[in-house]
Amino acid sequence: MITCFIRYHIDPTKKAEFGQYARNWGEAIPRCGADLVGYFAPHEGSSTLAYGVYHIESLAAYEAYRARLAADPLGRENYDFAMKEKFLLREDRTFLKLVSK
């Protein structure tokens, strides 16, 4: 099992749009095969950092999941929403493996 951490830099004036984006992924991501931990928006401190976290079996499973997500109607709609509203300024993905308990 690997965990994908997505770090977003968002427009601080568009937190509501990021919230809608996160809720949409809350439906689409599990349906497409990943175990969503959640999306996290700025609350205190930085007003521009947000995170998405989910688990997936392997990098091969990730590739298949991404294809399903791109074909999913809500997934396509959410990508388009982000492009139209321009609230995502930067997006970085890191894949980590749990090494302690």
Per residue in 50-71, pLDDT (tens digit) is: 999 999 999 999 999 999 999 9
- Check residue 5 and give its pLDDT: 98
Percent of the chain residues topping a pLDDT of 70: 100
As given in the structure block, the two tokens for residue 50 are 């947000």
88 SS3 class: strand
Q: What is the DSSP letter of 47?
A: S
Which residue in the block uniquely carries the two structure tokens 């809608």? 20
Question: What number of CA atoms fall less than 13 Å from residue 73's CA on the CB side?
Answer: 0
Which residue in the block uniquely carries the two structure tokens 């809350």? 26
Is pTM beyond 0.85? Reply is yes
Where exactly are the structural domains of the chain? 2-96
Choosing among 3.30.420.10, 3.30.70.100, 3.30.1300.10, 1.10.3720.10, the CATH entry for 2-96 is 3.30.70.100
